Chain A
């Protein structure tokens, strides 16, 4: 979709209640995709620092949010290994 059209529809504020709920769903989608990408990154051998840099957060923040949630079968390289 062209960006101008996205802006046109998303800027439709005639029903803010529905709009706000839709934004909440969009956040859930973003969370789902974030976890998938983090798992893919760990599988490809990226470490927490690389992932944090790409997400634009600190290494500690990325680790705190995702370390427990990712698939435990992924071998995670340790920082001091």
Chain B
């Protein structure tokens, strides 16, 4: 994986998680404390290193809150931040990084730096305001200890990037995400078709939701027709109705759903597979989307479009991964 791709993927996944954390506090600006929270739930070695020190998302959120309360008290102000609510990032707009946070991301991809989450964490613990040092102190650790632990987890052996998954004879794309919950709970969530509209963007509602969840069972899905603000969503008529089948269900480590469009007979069904593995402080989920290659002259026409297709697949995988992680926060 090139440094540019790694830096781009790292900054997208950190931005998503950090803005989600900011959104539950009623904020629209992600600052360094939200970046820290995002690193705690990151799927790369940086997240594993922090979690191996006993820092989980709840204790980290608690430390940030205590720090802010103590600061307000030090000014003699008797006020508290409004109670944090649920994540509303995906329903709202107008998010941005604070200047110092975006500078940290920019520096982590600079000369002689990796651009991965470990590089961001290294920059973050060295930030000059001292806020992160104070938060670490409340979590019973220091920036020195974090860097030492990071070196263990960020060794070249540990860092060996997962080889991109290829499925024989099929087009495919894959991604990994960390979910702060035990494997069994994540499996149950993914196996429940009523949760599908959360993680599969092409499905807004499900029919026959009460059926038994066994391989071979088929559900009917319907696409989104209007946004929360009432604006209609443009979906081609043949893609409004989908046929959703549970293909594989090996509790608690494997699960596969197939999505087909019966009104568009030329389209090929997309297989979404989930592979779950226990990791420090939660579950690592690998998501693979694959579909059959088109036959005939269309493969040649489609060739130049491959990079665009790859990018679109990456976006949908990224959204699915983010949504699963969000469901457990």
Contacts and interface: CB of A to CB of B under 8 A. Distances in A.
Contact of B28 (A6, A12, A21, A69): A69
Contacts of A36: 26, 82
B74 A22 contact: yes
A18 B71 CA distance: 8
Nearest to A66: B94
Contacts of A19: 74-75
Contact of B75 (A23, A71, A73): A23
Given A69-B93, A71-B91, A28 B75 contact: no
Given A69-B28, A72-B91, A9 B75 contact: yes
Contacts of B92: 69-72
B130 A29 contact: no
A25 B26 CA distance: 14
B77 A10 contact: yes
B68 interface: yes
Given A32-B27, A36-B26, A26 B93 contact: no
Given A28-B31, A69-B93, A18 B82 contact: no
Interface range, A side: 20 to 34
Interface residues of B, number: 28
B74 A32 contact: no
B129 A21 contact: yes
B76 A10 contact: yes
B230 to A, nearest CB: 8
Interface string A16-45: 011101111110110111011000000000
Interface in A31-81: 31-33, 35-36, 66-73
A26 B76 CA distance: 11
Contact of B76 (A8, A17, A21): A8
Contact of A73 (B29, B78, B229): B229
Given A69-B93, A69-B94, A28 B27 contact: yes
B300 interface: no
A26 B27 contact: no
B228 interface: yes
A26 B75 contact: yes
A1 B78 contact: yes
Interface of A: 1, 5-10, 12, 17-19, 21-26, 28-29, 31-33, 35-36, 66-73
22 contacts: A5-B76, A6-B77, A8-B76, A9-B74, A21-B71, A22-B71, A22-B72, A22-B74, A26-B77, A28-B68, A31-B27, A31-B29, A32-B81, A33-B82, A36-B82, A66-B94, A67-B94, A68-B94, A69-B28, A71-B91, A72-B229, A73-B91
Given A26-B77, A72-B91, 19 more contacts: A1-B77, A1-B78, A6-B76, A6-B77, A8-B76, A9-B75, A9-B76, A19-B74, A19-B75, A24-B129, A26-B75, A28-B27, A29-B79, A31-B29, A32-B25, A33-B82, A69-B92, A72-B227, A73-B229
